[in-house]
Amino acid sequence: MLSLSTLFPNTAHPRFGIFVARSLEALQRDTHWDVTLINPIGLPPLALGRYKMLAGAARNGREFGFDVHRPIFRLLPKVGGRLNPRLIARAVLPLARRLHAGRPFDLVDAQFFYPDGPAAMMIARELGLPFSVKARGADIHYWGARGYGREALIETAREAAGVLAVCEALADDMATLGMDRDRIGIHYTGLDRDLFRPLDHNGLRARLAERFSIPIARDDLLLVTVGALIERKGQAYVVKSLADLPKGRLLLVGKGEDEPSLRALAKELGVAGRVHFLGSLDPSMLPPILSAADAMVLPSASEGLANAWIESLACGTPIVITDAGGAREVVTSPEAGVIVARNCRAIREGIEAVTARPHSPEAVAETVEAFSWEANGAALAAHYDEIV
C-alpha cells in the first residue's frame, strides 16, 4: 500500500499526526499489508521563520516499521488551500511512479480527506490503481464549508474504491454534504493500552506539582484539557468556568495560536494562578496527568472522534464534552462522563456533576475496552482486503 498523509510526525513536529503513525504501525506489524508512506512537506517559496525548521524535517527514513518519504511541495500559506491537492500530486507523482516501478503497489491510501484525498485520487489515476480515503473531522467540516472544498470532497468520495470515517456522526455529516452514506465504513481510532491505563492516585499530584513547578493541593478540583490551543477546542469556556469553581485548577496540554488570548483571559478573570500551560508533552506524560485529574474537559465546536476522549477514559478519568462528532458513541454510560452544551454554565454544571459522582477508575476504563491499535490495524486491513 502507498499511503499519503500530510499529517505525520517529523523532527519539527514529533506529535503531528501521531495517531496516523500508530494506525499504520499496527497495520504493518500485525497484518499482511506492507506500508510505504509519503508525507509531503508544504513549504512556501521562501522557507523563513517556522518553515525553516520544517524544511529541515523533510528527510526520508524508516519509521514506525515502514519506509517514510518526505518530498517538498510549494504552497501559499493561508490562501492556497484550493491549489494544494494538485501541488501535492505534482510533487509526489514522480516518486510514486519510481516506487511503483520498483515494487508495484496494490492500493493508494489517503489518511485525510483534504488535501490528501484529491491528491491520492490523481496519483491513483496515473498509476492505474484503486484508492481509499479516510475522514477524521476537520477535513470534512472545515473544507466542506467551502464551495471548492465541498466539490473536491464529493468527487473524491465518488471515485474512491473505499471510504472511511472515524465515527458514525462524521459519516452522517459526510452524507449531508452529498456523499453516499451506504459506502462509508466506520473505522474507530486505536489506543496504546499498555500506556493509557489507570494509575494509582497516591502521590501522583505531588509528582506532577514537582515536575511542572505548580501548586496542586490534595483537595483541588483538578481539571485537564488536552488538545491544540485553538478556538474550535473551546479552552476559553473552561477557563471562564473556573471563576465559579473556587477549588478548580486547570492543566492545559497542547500548543496553539490561542495561547496568548487564553493567558490574557485567565488574568482578566483573576484565575491566572489556577491555569497552567504545559505545552506539548511526550505521550508518556499524559497517563499520570489524566489519572490524577478529576475530569478531562474538552468543549469542542466540532470533532471526529477525539483521541483525547479515549485516552482520558482509558486512564479512568471521566470526560465533560460537547455534543460534537462521535461524542454520543463514546459517552454511552454515566461512568464515561457527560455531554453538555457549549456554554460556561453548562460546562461548569457538567464538571460539578461528574466530579460529585463516585466512580471507579477501572469502571471508567472499561467503557473504552474495545479500543486498541491492534483492533484498529486489523479493521483497516479488512477494509483494504475488500478493495483489492
Q: Give the 3-state secondary structure of the chain.
A: CEEECCCCCCCCCCCCCHHHHHHHHHHHHHCCCCCEEECCEEECCCCCCHHHHHHHCCCCEEECCEEEECCEEECCCCCCCCCHHHHHHHHHHHHHHHHHHHCCCCCEEECCCCCHHHHHHHHHHHHCCCEEEEECCHHHHCHHHCHHHHHHHHHHHHHCCEEEECCHHHHHHHHHHCCCHHHEEECCCCCCCCCCCCCCCCCHHHHHHHHHCCCCCCCCEEEEEECCCCHHHCHHHHHHHHHHCCCEEEEEEECCCCHHHHHHHHHHHCCHHHEEEEECCCHHHHHHHHHHCCEEEECCCCCCCCHHHHHHHHCCCCEEEECCCCHHHHCCCHHHEEEECCCHHHHHHHHHHHHHCCCCHHHHHHCCCCCCHHHHHHHHHHHHHHHC
- Is residue 71 over pLDDT 80? yes
Predicted local distance difference test score (pLDDT) of residue 133: 98
**What would the mean pLDDT of 168-195 be, rounded to a whole number?**
96
Kind of pairing between the strands at 295-298 and 319-322: parallel
Predicted local distance difference test score (pLDDT) of residue 84: 94
- Is residue 78 over pLDDT 80? no
- Is residue 154 over pLDDT 80? yes
- Is residue 298 over pLDDT 90? yes
Cα–Cα–Cα angle for 149, 153, 154, rounded to 5 degrees:
120
- Is residue 252 over pLDDT 90? yes
Between CA 177 and CA 182 the distance in angstroms is 14
**What would the mean pLDDT of 147-157 be, rounded to a whole number?**
96
Q: Is the pTM of this model over 0.85?
A: yes
Task: Number of helices (H) and strands (E) in the chain: give both, helices first.
Answer: 16, 16
**What would the mean pLDDT of 45-69 be, rounded to a whole number?**
89
Residue of 90, 91, 127 lying closest to 108 (CA atoms): 127
User: Residue 294 — pLDDT band, cuts 50, 70, 90?
Assistant: very high
Residue of 242, 208, 209 lying closest to 223 (CA atoms): 242
Half-sphere CA count of 327, side-chain side, radius 13 A: 20
Between CA 325 and CA 314 the distance in angstroms is 19
pLDDT of 303-318, one tens digit each? 999 999 999 999 999 9
Q: Three-state DSSP class for 33? A: coil
**What would the mean pLDDT of 282-301 be, rounded to a whole number?**
95
Predicted local distance difference test score (pLDDT) of residue 49: 74
Cell 513547578 belongs to residue: 213
- Is residue 167 over pLDDT 80? yes
Residue of 120, 149, 147, 148 lying closest to 134 (CA atoms): 120
Between CA 283 and CA 386 the distance in angstroms is 34
**What would the mean pLDDT of 37-55 be, rounded to a whole number?**
87
| Proportion of the chain above pLDDT 90, given as a percent | 88
**What would the mean pLDDT of 268-276 be, rounded to a whole number?**
97
User: Residue 181 — pLDDT band, cuts 50, 70, 90?
Assistant: very high
Q: What is the DSSP letter of 114?
A: T
Asked if omega into 198 is within 30° of 0 (cis), the reply is no
